[in-house]
Amino acid sequence: MRALLCCTLVVLVGCEGKLGGPTTPPPGATADAGCPPEGKNDEIRQALAPACASCHLTGNKPYFASLEAFENGLVYDPKWVNKDDPAGSALIKLLQGLNPGSYPQMPPGEPYSAYVNDGRVKLTLDELQAWIRELPERGAINDGPSPSAFTVRRLRADEMILSLMDQLGLSQEDFVDTSRPTWRDEEYTVRGGRLFVWPTDWAPGISQQYVSDKRATERYETLGGAVVLQGRKKDLTLGPSSLQTLVQMSQAWCRLAIEKQGNTAVLRSVTLADKSATKSVEIKQNIAQLSLRMLGDVPSEADVTELYEQVYLPLEANSTKTAWTGVCAALVRHPKWLSY
């Protein structure tokens, strides 16, 4: 449930050349609080900051980290801000508490109007819609790296392993023989037929006591993990070797999660007995839920339909297990999952 994590860190950085020394912005303030806005978009960013920035200053949706991040990640993404339909923009709906999906309201807890009413923010929803209506044209996209840009990075190998296990309702016990009570302190004996992936440096024991299937640690390295004891650094690229491993891992682990008794991580609204002929609505609902779980974003109807028509339906002809393995694996290979 990474998407529910809300970061409250405030970065103590002054605005360039405008502050004499380090200051502590009030909670919810952006890093450059106190600096004059650099235009209308920046004015809006600073006005929204007291309600939004405490969670969106860092993390995977750092819209308030800088003006560039605000513009690249929020303002000029039609998913959030639609100039042709200000009232229907997801940003407005969220602030009204009317957004469809798992996150109907932002900020969570209190509606935005409460912030306006008690003066914590001064920007009203009407003013916000007026800004959207008159949204300035986007300038040229930055063509080089910038410390203030909204950037992405690939997940590291250890993040991939831990988050995928968590999202799919899997654990070490699904891969490692636990018949001995001391299994956690000894060489891991990998269960037959399981595609285990595990860092060498995390395995228990010393002196050759690691994992019975050394391919498990080799796969960790191909995913981009470091082998510290041998001086090999992590690979920050997402090359064919990483993808080769992830393609196998995504299908093997998704299938294992579907087969695991009592595990509802993948199949929440349907069972393997449900087929598209009679349960298409539920199947699409499950795709939407799984997509939100894996990618941290409420999928659009078009996204759900695409997964349903291009992946689920063709594979359902084989079996529903195959179809759900395909849908699940497609989400693991998605750019948003890889750069979560």
Partner 1 sequence: MLKWALGAGQVALLDRFGMLRSGVAHAAPADAPSRLCVIYVPGGFRPQYHFWPMEDADVEACVPAPSSFAGEPIFFRKEQLVDLGPANGPYKPLRVWQSWDPANPANRSNGFTPAMYGFTHFGLADQVAVLHGVDQGTADHGSAFVSAMCGVASPDFRAPALHAVAANYLHAKYASTRPLPFVVVTNDRGTPVAQGLPSHAAPVRVPSIEALTPQMSDDPMKNPWWTGLDARTARPEVNAKGEPLGTMLQTTALEQHSLAQPGKYLGRSTANVDGFLESLHGSLRGVSRVLAADVVSVLEAQKGIDALITNRPAYLANYLNQPFSYTFGLANFHMTTLEPRLDMALRLLKSDLTSAVHVSLNLDFDTHSGLGHGFSCAHGRAQMDLVARFLGELKSTPAPGLPGKTMLDDTLVVVLSEFGRSWASPSSAGGFNLPDDHHPYTSVLFAGGNVAGNRMVGSYDRRGFGVPAELVEENGQASQRVPRSADAVTTAMRIMGLEFHEFFIPGGYGEVVGLRKG
For partner 1, the binding residues (CB under 8 A) are 72-73, 76-77, 141-146, 149-152, 154, 193, 195, 215, 218-219, 221-222, 230-233, 235-245, 247-248, 251-252, 254-256, 306-307, 310-311, 314-315, 318-319, 321-322, 325-326, 329-330, 333-335, 338-339
DSSP 3-state of 249: helix
**82, 88 Cβ separation under 8 angstroms:** yes
CB of 198 to partner 1, least distance (A): 14
Q: How far is the CB of 125 from partner 1 (least distance, A)?
A: 26
Nearer to partner 1 by Cβ, of 52 and 257: the residue is 257
Q: Which residues contact 234 (CB under 8 A, 6 or more apart)?
A: 156, 157, 224, 225, 226
Phi, psi (deg, nearest 5) at residue 176: -115, 140
What is the closest distance, in whole angstroms, from the C-beta atom of residue 118 to partner 1 in the complex?
Answer: 36
Q: How far is the CB of 232 from partner 1 (least distance, A)?
A: 6
Buried b or exposed e, range 47-86, using 16+ CB within 10 angstroms: bbbbbbbbbbbbeebbbbbbbebbbbbbbbeeebbbeeeb
Residue number, 23 or 248, with CB nearest to partner 1? 248
**199, exposed or middle or buried, with CB in 10 Å at 0-12, 13-18, 19+?**
buried
Closest CB 173 distance from partner 1, rounded Å: 19
112/284 with CB nearer partner 1: 284
- Nearest to partner 1 of 42, 213 (CB atom): 213
Q: How far is the CB of 41 from partner 1 (least distance, A)?
A: 16
Toward partner 1, which CB reaches closer, 34 or 335? 335
CB 224 within 8 A of CB 242: yes
Q: Which residues contact 257 (CB under 8 A, 6 or more apart)?
A: 168, 169, 170, 263, 265, 266, 328
Cis peptide before 240 (omega within 30 of 0): no
Nearer to partner 1, 99 or 217 (CB): 217
The residue among 106 and 328 lying less far from partner 1, judged by its C-beta, is 328
Radius of gyration of the CA atoms of the chain, in A = 23
Q: Contact, 223 vs 216, CB < 8 A?
A: no
> CA–CA separation, 213 vs 219, rounded Å?
11
Residue with Cβ nearer partner 1 (123 or 246): 246
Work out the number of other CB atoms within 10 angstroms of the CB of residue 110.
14
Instruction: Find the shortest distance in angstroms from Cβ 23 to partner 1.
Output: 29
Residue closer to partner 1 (CB basis): 102 or 318: 318
Provide the 3-class DSSP secondary structure of residue 55: helix
**Cβ 4 to partner 1, closest distance in Å?**
23
- Nearest distance from residue 253's CB to partner 1, in Å? 8
Q: Which token pair is 230?
A: 């041998």
The HSE-up count of residue 88 (CA atoms within 13 Å, CB side) is 6
